[in-house]
Structure 1
Amino acid sequence: MNAGVPPLPTGTRLLHIGPHKTGTTSIQGALFAAKDAMPEHGVVFPADSRHPMEAVLAACARPGMIGNTQPTERHWQRLVDQVKATGRRTSVISSEFFADAPDDETIARVVEELGGERVHVLITLRPLARIMPSQWQQYVQNGLRMGYENWLERMLKKAPYEKPNPSFWRRHRHDRLVERWARVAGPERLTVVVVDDRDRGHLMRTFEQLLGLPDNLLQPVPDAANRSLTLAETEMLRKLNMEFRGNGLPDELYSQLVRYGAVMHMKNACAPGPQDVKISTPQWAVEAAAEIGAEMAGRIGGMGVRILGDPALLSVVPQPAEVLPGEPLIAPEVAAQALYGALAAAAAAPVRHSAPAKARTVHQTSSKELVRVLGHRCLKRLRRR
């Protein structure tokens, strides 16, 4: 599809800004895995981890994930220094959180500090109908309590379409995203890649062409932790979010026990099977997303930026998915692995009792109070650490 696309000039700093759910994790894993092989071909991946998330969040004045380390200017400055250290070689930086940059001033700062005119911006796009279920379950993994159809109503029908996730259209109104970055970097220094889900290797080959790397140097890295949740898994987590918030437990505890405990262990230990129900988007929402996609593709086509791939894919209405009869049920093994993950996370931060427990048995204590006590004890231990 990209026949004849020449490599970017030597010394380019390729800045991949996502947005979310457009193959970012896959390409970041492949780039990081090839980090030691790329310098032989004049390309550097200047970061200590697959995804320098804290650095980018700091640059875009965004808070960290619930309960995580708060981004600071120090994180961003370290990444800038690492990019500068690449000298005149080509380098590549990738983070979907660049798409969250709030204004032109922030974008200008990012572009200037990463190399000014040497920066070439790359934006990857997928059809909204494929992004929406994946993005919703990701929001649930970050604490969202709203059901999918209600969420779709808020995102597609209820202006100003900002609640409960104002970041969604900031990221996924793709024509405006391209417009913001082209306005600062210049359309001649911006490439849009339309990801074709029918060709799993298309995105890897596109990066290789732009960076002047040998064919097949970039390879997908298996990452069970990045898989999407099934409908039953997402609903279980959503209900847990409701209980967690209803009991007023702290964000740090959610991060430790739920996101990096229950969810992470469940995703790594259990692979969905053909009997597991996927998240299905109702036809009205699919058609609304395709209509928005057609409008976005038309506007992007008139901006003077380079487009690789087929923009018509952004407005395709996929065939309705087969919906299995009955309610989605979570397998006992999946529930057990989620529970074990939370328990293992709690056990990794044991609480030392400084005073004798009061003479009251567990059976004499309400479940709500037990959850609150456990939460505060784990949080106390986390703060000590």
Structure 2
Amino acid sequence: METDCTRDDARVNGIAPLPAGTRLLHIGPHKTGTTSIQGALFAARDRLPAHGVVFPAHTRHPMEAALAACARPAMLGDPVPTDRHWRKLLEQVNATGGRTSVVSSEFFADAEDDATAARIVEQLGGDRVHVLVTLRPLAKIMPSQWQQYVQNGLRMDYGNWLEHMLRKAPYEQPNPSFWRRHRHDRLIERWVRVAGPERVTVVVVDDRDKGGLLRTFEALLGLPENLLQAVPDTANRSLTLAETEMLRNLNKEFRGNELPAELYSRLVRNGAVMHMKNACSPSPEDVKITTPVWALEVAAAIGAGMAERIGGTGVRVIGDLALLSAVPGPQVREATGEPRIAPEVAAQALYGALAAAAAAPVRHTDPAKARTVHQTPSKELVKVLGHRCLKRLRRR
């Protein structure tokens, strides 16, 4: 039997739960604990209905649906999301009836304008929709977001990337999505104009409280404490500096030789990188991506301004907005040692690419060419090899 635990008069840790039947739209943004929440909700999906809550998605993260809803492109080389993905998710949400439901994707933060956000809210249920935004300090987000961009083909090093994002107006190159996602005050104001401040909640994530975000979601949804549990996800771990630099240099070769984007998706991101992350765990000796002091201070100043504007929007805030302007202590500012890739890590990355390629059987059906391999320029050879691999992958 289902029980209705989402009642306005029941508070957990001082947090009033959302009304029963709410359609909670968690829009991220990126690097604010979204994967942790999505993994925990998906793992508990069979137990949620007993408490009047439904997680209406067949996967942990309905990324394609969110990208389609926001009319945003897919990751480099991935299939283009279509409206079919979004309609399918809407059907799953509508099937929840009068129960509380949760839709979570950080890619909803990529909605470019009020019209897009308004359409998403209206299609999900209009007045039943409550928008949830999770926030972390920019100083914590920047290194994670940079290495994520590298995993999508970025070739710029961290120092230059910070210069472009923080010092070179209009701060849109090479990644215009960064400030669309992480100028948090404007992000919240955009969704407030659509849903109204009474239907927007902001949660400031405190990294010192490891289970705090899960407990907050439980309280908002009226769930028993500890029902949501963190699910280990090695595939989502951040890359070390050495791993990121290896991939960044690979990106240079890949782009320089004009190989097909689909090949990058299959062999690099979902082959080499995915296998490396799953097979190798960073050690204490690995050099992490560290942010220079000047960038930390600029990020803190931006965070202070964002916190002030968010506080004036009238939204419900859970957590301490002052955390958005915190500057990390000296112990996390300085890195020691050189970023060197361990041989076993490089081997796992190479194996991941080979395994992805081997998944498409190679059949030697091409007629003999006039030139031998050794007579062919290396750049031309790489391009031909890339296109042949892609052709075989598509054929399969």
Question: Is the pair's TM-score, using the shorter chain for normalization, greater than 0.5?
Answer: yes
How much has 1:14 moved relative to structure 2?
0.5
CA contact under 8 A between 2:66 and 2:105: conserved in structure 1? Answer: yes
- Does structure 1 residue 128 correspond to structure 2 residue 134? no
**Quick one: distance in 1 between partners of 2:385 and 2:314?**
57
Q: Look up the SS of the partner of 1:214 in the other structure.
A: coil
Question: In the alignment, which residue of structure 1 is the partner of 2:194?
Answer: 184
**Contact 1:15 1:92 survives alignment (8 Å):** yes
Match of residue 101 from structure 2? 91
Match of 2:348 among 337, 343, 357: 337
Letter in 2 for 1:346: A
Q: Where does residue 6 of structure 2 map in the other structure?
A: none
Q: C-alpha distance in 1, partners of 2:51/2:327? A: 41
Select the residue among 285, 290, 315 that pairs with 1:275: 285
Q: How is 1:108-119 mapped onto 2 (pairs within 5 angstroms)?
A: 108-119=118-129
Following superposition, the deviation at residue 371 of structure 1 comes to 1.9
Distance 1:368 1:112 in 2: 51
Contact 1:53 1:97 in 2 (8 A): yes
The structural deviation recorded for 1:61 is: 0.7
Residues 135-166 of structure 1 show CA distances to partners (whole Å, capped at 9, x for unaligned) of 00000000000000000000000100000000
Give RMSD over aligned pairs: 1.4
- The correspondence for 2:339, drawn from 328, 339, 349, is 328
Equivalence map 1:19-168=2 (5 Å)? 19-168=29-178
CA contact (8 A) 1:45 1:92 kept: yes
What secondary structure, in the 3-state scheme, does the structure 1 residue paired with 2:210 have?
coil
SS at match of 2:101: strand
The Cα of 1:263 is off from its aligned counterpart by 0.3
Structure 1 residues 324 and 22, CA gap change in structure 2 (3 angstroms): closer
The residue that corresponds to 2:268 in the other structure is 258
- CA distance in structure 2 between the aligned counterparts of 1:153 and 1:322, rounded to whole angstroms: 17
Deviations 1:280-316 (A, max 9, x none): 0000000000000000000100110000001110011
For residues 269 and 242 of structure 1, the distance between their equivalents in structure 2, rounded to whole angstroms, comes to 25
**What's the CA shift for 1:345?**
0.7
The residue that corresponds to 1:352 in the other structure is: 363
Normalising by structure 1, report the TM-score: 0.97
**How many residue pairs get matched?**
385
Corresponding residue SS for 2:317 = strand
| Aligned AA (1:163) | Q
Structure 1 residue identity aligned to 2:205: V
Shift of 1:63: 1.0
Aligned residue for 1:288, secondary structure, equals helix
**Gapped regions of structure 1 (runs ≥ 5):** none
Whether contact under 8 Å (1:2, 1:308) holds in the other structure is no
How much identity, in percent, do the aligned residues show? 79
SS at match of 2:259: coil
Alignment of 1:202-241 (within 5 A): 202-241=212-251
Matched, 1:373 2:384: yes
Shift of 1:382: 2.2
Which letter does structure 2 place at the counterpart of 1:209? A
Deviation at 1:267, TM superposition (A): 0.4
SS of 1:191 mapped into structure 2: strand
Separation (CA, whole Å) in 2 of partners of 1:214 and 1:135: 33
Deviation for aligned residue 1:378? 1.1
Deviation, 1:366, is 3.8
Which amino acid in the other structure matches residue 359 of structure 2? A
